[in-house]
Structure 1
Amino acid sequence: MITSPLWLPATLIAGAMQAWRTAVQRRVSDSLSINAAGLVRYLYGIPFALILLSGYRWLFPAPLPGFGPLFLPFCIAGGLAQIIATNLLIMAFRHRNFVVGTAYSKTEAVQGAILSFLLMGERLHPLAWAGIGCGVMGVMILSTGGRRMGPGDFLRALAQPAALTGIASGFFFALTAIGIRRATQTVGGDDRILAALLVLVVTVLIQTAMQGAWLMLREPGEMRRVLDSWRVSGQVGLLSALGSACWFTGFATAPVALVRIVGQIEVAFTMAFGHFYLKEKMRRSEAAGLVLVVSGVALALTGSL
């Protein structure tokens, strides 16, 4: 059940911020290792996450709410899943181009719908399921470049490294959403935005500690390169904090599957950034896939009314 209309604008803004952040992060990943490129979004996101929380509490002063006993475990689980998902997405970029790598990860919508039903009992309107199907078809067109493929060709395409890492990334992004939603549900009070921002701050601190420790132990030389890249990495941190704040607000106020379905609109923003920012060519097949993705979002929204 949707508890607040905030989820829709929050999700749309999150999609734009994530596409922008991923485009910038892709450029950072060209000069850093996979783990180092993943760390920048958390390390440089900390100050912006704290600013967002402090600013919100200044605008809407209130005592801090209480936390349930599972608050920290859910933050840890969601944070770890996001680290794995982000690393897999960066790996997908290195196999194929920016748009296609993101397209594979967008299978998280259908994976999230299934997982949220199995783990949390969240149900969707039939139109929302139709929207998922439409969006998945659009994603597949984007990921295959519009080529006509038989069943055997399609299965072979799914076995390619870009497909495997992208789909795995989508799976862990779906687990991230579930972990974050459950974390926000353990925060007391009625202010869901405050709950989302509290979860954001705690999660990004945990993620920085986890991936930072891994980098110091396994790739100590990369830490200096992370610090030296502060000009570009700071942009990643800002966009990551803004995007995550909106995603977390969406998860706190609406079913995970619905947020992720509408979040597929990120593909449209991704194509725009891939074309204008990264100078990647847009094919007719990508435009057709985009139409299907947008149609899927429209169906999901209709089903939620």
Structure 2
Amino acid sequence: MSAAPDLWIVATIAAALFQTARFALQKRLKLAGLSATGATWARFVWSAPLLGCGMVGWLAVSGVDLPPITARFWAFALAGGVTQILATICVVALFSRRNFAVGITFKKSEVLQTVLVGWLLLGETVSASGFGALALGFVALLVLSGEVDGDARGQGLRRFLTPSVALGLSSGAFFALAGVGYRGATLALGDGPVVFRAALALALVTMAQTLLMAVWFIARDRAQIGTVLRAWRPGVVMGLTSLAGSFCWFVAFALQNAAYVYAVGQVELLFSIAGGAILFGERLSRREIAGIALLFVSLVLLVLLV
């Protein structure tokens, strides 16, 4: 195996670990009084300055020339940035409806949805056997959907028409668009060093996300700005985990099809189960355990087939 495939797999696993830590911190921030939107903005507002300073220092020390920042780059970058904001809001809102591990599992519908989005926007495809493994993961999501809302007593399709299912699948769709957008953005920066392209794209996207959400808060919810800033202690830690996780995701997207990256990223399920048990004292039902196990089997099959 070449160095590049090794790097994207390692980067993806690291990204999943950092992302689990970030979502745990976002859940704590939401429980502490921040809205879903405020908890989402907190991850950007504390990481954007660090990224900006890091890129300025990198350019000053290395002497690397900036690649052209084209309209194609901004189209992919802003599409990815906006849909990531929407996806994160959905996930944070979902945490208040169901436990940590199941919330992350429904988010993983992004894997199957990314196949379609990647084909439509970038012309990238997956193998037939790989798609079969992804489809198995979707079946696991259907198994889990019966456990999402404890008060759901409908039969047939009605039991899938719940707010939790809608939030989970919506977050997956938005993350699918974000992943493909970020891959397109890194590719639009040319053929320079992968790490540099990933860091530059991440810095520009994060600054744009911070400003866009700041404008929204000024117009719609100014009180939340103060609430976010007062929660600076967990916010700074979350910013650091967000920075590390996002950088790893961008490196992986620069090297590999976004659908495969998200598929390997399902290792996040193991991290989320451990995090939910250790940090929040959560326990899973038998049905939830079966659904998560089935989804993990699809991950193992995909890694073996890619």
Q: How does 1:31-110 map to 2 (within 5 A)?
A: 31-50=33-52, 53=55, 62-110=64-112
- The match for 2:170 is 168
Q: In the aligned structure 1, how far is the partner of 2:224 from the partner of 2:148? A: 38
What is the CA deviation profile of residues 142-200 of structure 1, one whole-angstrom value per residue up to 9, with x for unaligned ones? 443499xxxx7352232100100110111011000111111111102331221111110
CA–CA separation in structure 2 for the residues paired with 1:274 and 1:106 = 16
* Structure 2 residues without counterparts, runs of 5 or longer: none
1:299 paired residue number? 301
1:82-141, Cα deviation, whole Å (9 max, x unpaired): 111111112212222222222211111111111112222211122311221222233333
CA distance, structure 1, for counterparts of residue 281 and residue 244 of structure 2: 25
Q: Is the alpha carbon distance of 1:247 and 1:296 closer, same or farther for their aligned partners in structure 2, counting shifts above 3 Å?
A: same
Change in Cα spacing, 1:91 to 1:60, as seen in structure 2 (3 Å) is same
Q: Deviations over 1:13-41 (max 9, x none)?
A: 11111111101101101211122111001
- For residue 277 of structure 1, the aligned residue among 269, 279, 286 is 279
Moved more, 265-274 or 45-54: 45-54
Cα pair 1:56 1:194 within 8 Å, conserved: no
Aligned to 2:15: 14
Match of 1:126 in 2: 128
Q: Structure 1: how far apart are the matches of 2:138 and 2:238?
A: 28
Q: Aligned letter for 2:11? A: A
Distance in 2 separating the partners of 1:139 and 1:56: 42
* Structure 1: distance between partners of 2:62 and 2:299: 33
Deviation string for 1:52-105 (max 9, x for gaps)? 546766886633333333112221111111111111112212222222222211
2:105 and 2:292 in contact (8 A); partners too: no
Q: For the aligned residues, what is the CA RMSD?
A: 2.3
Instruction: Say whether the 8 Å CA contact 1:75–1:180 is kept in structure 2.
Output: yes
Q: 2 CA distance for matches of 1:23 and 1:162? A: 18
Q: Per-residue CA shift, 1:242-297, capped at 9, x if unaligned?
A: 11111111111100111111112211111111111111113343333333222212
Structure 1 distance, partners of 2:300, 2:267, is 10
Match of 1:261 in 2: 263
Asked if structure 2 preserves the Cα contact closer than 8 Å seen for 1:126 and 1:303, the reply is no
Instruction: Quote the Cα distance in structure 2 between the aligned partners of 1:181 and 1:154.
Output: 38
Identity %: 32
- Structure 1 residues 107, 128: closer, same or farther in 2, change over 3 A? same
Cα distance change, pair 9–186 in 1 and its aligned pair in 2 (3 A):
same
Question: Partners of 1:207 and 1:244 in 2: how far apart?
Answer: 13
Contact preservation (8 Å) 1:29, 1:37:
yes
Q: How many residues align?
A: 299
Are the aligned partners of 1:181 and 1:256 in contact in 2 as well (CA < 8 Å)? yes
Query: What's the counterpart of residue 222 of structure 2?
Result: 220
Q: Distance in 2 between matches of 1:21 and 1:194?
A: 23
Quote the Cα distance in structure 2 between the aligned partners of 1:158 and 1:289.
Answer: 15
TM norm structure 1: 0.90
CA contact (8 A) 1:146 1:286 kept: no
Contact 2:55 2:200 in 1 (8 A): yes
Q: State the AA in 1 paired with 2:4.
A: S
Q: Which runs of 5+ in 1 are unaligned?
A: none
2:235 maps to 233
Change (3 A) 1:115 1:292: same
1:19/1:142 Cα in 2 relative to 1: closer, same or farther (>3 Å)? farther
Match of 1:4 in 2: 4
- Inter-partner Cα distance in structure 2 for 1:12 and 1:56: 25
Q: CA–CA distance in 2 between the matches of 1:252 and 1:292?
A: 29
Matched, 1:210 2:226: no
State the match for 2:25 in structure 1.
24
